[in-house]
């Protein structure tokens, strides 16, 4: 028994390890043991991962592999797979998500048919297909031999039906994984290292199937500009990067061609600061992003969903700009501070996304207390380098202006307030920047993220 694709070295330790990883992930996602043939899992993975997977001929395979062969053939020729190929090729996390989700949904659908179908032929066909993808199985023995079973019309029809259903669900899961990679993984040109998520694909798949997270990812994935905006601050520096020319007398930045001038003319231009110089600058390090997010009862529904999308978008920006990210939810009390450092591992990011997905609106609103808790975090050294605090709220809360101003001054921090379908004159007076959003669409989100 061997694999079904040309060009894949099934004896390679890397390929074998990948099959074991997929099987282990399948067990963790489904929550039960599985005896699926690792070679079948390897083939389903490489169908998505390779740019041009080529199936062996039927004459090159064992008779016992006919079920697996038919399923891989259906996968290669699938329109869904071909559409996904734009982002699955050489993307190990997406390819693993596709293969794990496909096999899981395939098995679950076949087991459902075997258990509930009123047609005996369908039940037997489902069992035959299930047996065909399991390790060491020859398929179900019956009145017909294996060749005749494979050609059976009911089996072929059922195989195509369950394959299409499983592949459609797998594509949904993979789209969410891809969105998570793009939004919170920082996988853009010039934006630092890409967070792959392959090692935590079971957790990512679980999140991808969370209704709340799925809505947020779908909303954010429709904003192509989201991954392109980065905030840059530069300062002039004699040993920085070249970005232009100017006149002056700083010999350290002198353009070499000026040395060819006659000595008298050079001295005159030096005295009058008219020598041609390079303009140089360096990038300033940006401080962390600190976000306060209102989860009070009035925020429940569309408001908090939009605010959560803003939170993930701000984290995406922080990762691209190599900045730490801090998040604290609040209602009438501040909730625990969530920290995601700039070089965070995928597990830490997944925990943050999971936490955001679990939060529900409820409780009162105490804006003053939340802002002061952020200032205390800064003063007490729980967070470092924060100069701006962003607050998302719809609250009509009365602000303790004097106390809040004093806290901000002691923390040497500025306050950016985003009012969600509301207005607060007190908050406006203590804020350095004050925005009001009403539509809660992608345009409003970009206004906040780019401010």
Q: Give per-residue pLDDT as tens, 310-319.
A: 999 999 989 8
Q: What is the mean pLDDT of residues 338-362?
A: 91
The two beta strands, 234-248 and 275-283, are antiparallel
Output the domain CATH number for residue 293: 3.40.50.410
Q: What is the mean pLDDT of residues 230-251?
A: 74
pLDDT at 189: 44
Percent of the chain at pLDDT exceeding 70: 89
Q: Are residues 407 and 378 in the same domain?
A: yes
Q: What is the mean pLDDT of residues 359-377?
A: 95
Q: Which of 217, 145, 206, 216 is nearest to 181 (CA)?
A: 217
Residue 300 has pLDDT above 60, yes or no: yes
Q: Which of 245, 233, 247 is nearest to 279 (CA)?
A: 245
Residue 42 has pLDDT above 80, yes or no: yes
Residue 199 located in a structural domain: no
Residue 28 located in a structural domain: yes
pLDDT at 200: 86
Residue 391: CB atoms within 10 Å? 23
Q: What is the mean pLDDT of residues 208-217?
A: 90
Q: Which residues, listed in sequence order, are joined to residue 248 by a DSSP beta bridge?
A: 275
Confidence band (pLDDT; 50, 70, 90) for 196? low
**For all residues of the chain together, what is the average pLDDT?**
88
Q: Are residues 297 and 400 in the same domain?
A: yes
pLDDT at 141: 44
Q: Are residues 112 and 244 in the same domain?
A: no
Residue 70 located in a structural domain: yes
Q: What is the mean pLDDT of residues 82-110?
A: 94
Report how many domains make up the chain: 3
Q: Are residues 274 and 338 in the same domain?
A: no
Q: What is the mean pLDDT of residues 3-20?
A: 93
Q: What is the mean pLDDT of residues 137-161?
A: 64
Residue 225 located in a structural domain: no
Distance in angstroms (rounded) separating the CA atoms of residues 121 and 142: 12
Residue 228 located in a structural domain: no
Q: Are residues 342 and 446 in the same domain?
A: yes
Q: What's the predicted TM-score (pTM) here?
A: 0.81
Q: Domain containing 425: what range?
A: 289-450
Q: How buried is 265 (Cβ within 10 angstroms: 0-12 exposed, 13-18 middle, 19+ buried)? A: exposed
Q: What is the mean pLDDT of residues 291-295?
A: 97
Q: Are residues 437 and 302 in the same domain?
A: yes
Among 167-176, 193-202, 250-259, the least confident range? 193-202
């Amino acid at each position: 028994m061997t694999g079904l694709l040309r060009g894949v070295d099934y004896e390679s330790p890397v390929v074998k390890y990948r099959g074991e990883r997929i099987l282990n992930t399948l067990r963790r996602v489904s929550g039960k043991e599985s005896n699926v043939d690792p070679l079948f899992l390897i083939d389903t993975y490489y169908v998505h991962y390779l740019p041009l997977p080529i199936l062996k001929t039927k004459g090159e395979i064992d008779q016992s592999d006919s079920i697996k062969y038919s399923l891989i053939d259906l996968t290669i020729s699938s329109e869904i797979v071909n559409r996904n190929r734009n982002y699955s090729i050489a993307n190990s996390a997406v390819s693993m998500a596709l293969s794990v989700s496909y096999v899981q949904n395939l098995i679950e659908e076949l087991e459902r048919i075997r258990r509930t179908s009123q047609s005996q032929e369908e039940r037997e066909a489902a069992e035959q297909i299930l047996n065909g993808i399991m390790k060491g199985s020859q398929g179900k023995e019956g009145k017909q031999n294996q060749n005749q079973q494979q050609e059976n019309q009911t089996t072929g029809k059922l195989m195509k039906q369950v394959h299409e259903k499983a592949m459609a669900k797998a594509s949904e899961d993979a789209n969410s994984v891809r969105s998570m990679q793009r939004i919170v993984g920082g996988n853009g040109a010039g934006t630092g290292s890409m967070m792959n998520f392959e090692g935590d694909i079971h957790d990512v798949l679980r999140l991808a199937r969370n209704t709340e997270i799925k809505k947020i990812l779908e909303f954010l994935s429709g904003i192509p500009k989201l991954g392109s905006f980065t905030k840059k601050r530069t300062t002039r520096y004699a040993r920085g990067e070249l970005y232009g020319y100017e006149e002056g007398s700083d010999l350290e930045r002198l353009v070499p061609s000026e040395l060819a001038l006659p000595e008298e003319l050079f001295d005159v231009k030096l005295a009058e600061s008219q020598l041609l110089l390079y303009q140089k600058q360096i990038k300033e390090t940006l401080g962390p992003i600190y976000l306060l997010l209102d989860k009070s009862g009035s925020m429940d529904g569309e408001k908090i969903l939009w605010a959560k999308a803003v939170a993930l978008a701000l984290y995406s920006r922080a990762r691209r700009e190599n900045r730490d990210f801090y998040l604290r939810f609040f209602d009438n009390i501040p909730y625990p501070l969530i920290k995601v450092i700039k070089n965070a591992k995928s597990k830490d990011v997944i925990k943050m996304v999971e936490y955001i997905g679990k939060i529900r609106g409820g409780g009162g609103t105490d804006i003053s207390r939340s802002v002061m808790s952020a200032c205390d975090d800064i003063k007490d050294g729980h967070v470092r380098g924060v100069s701006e605090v962003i607050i998302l709220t719809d609250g009509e809360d009365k602000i303790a202006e004097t106390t809040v101003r004093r806290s901000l001054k002691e923390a040497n921090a500025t306050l950016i307030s985003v009012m969600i379908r509301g207005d607060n004159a007190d908050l406006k007076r203590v804020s350095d920047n004050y925005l009001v959003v009403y539509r809660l669409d992608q345009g409003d989100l970009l206004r906040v993220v780019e401010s």
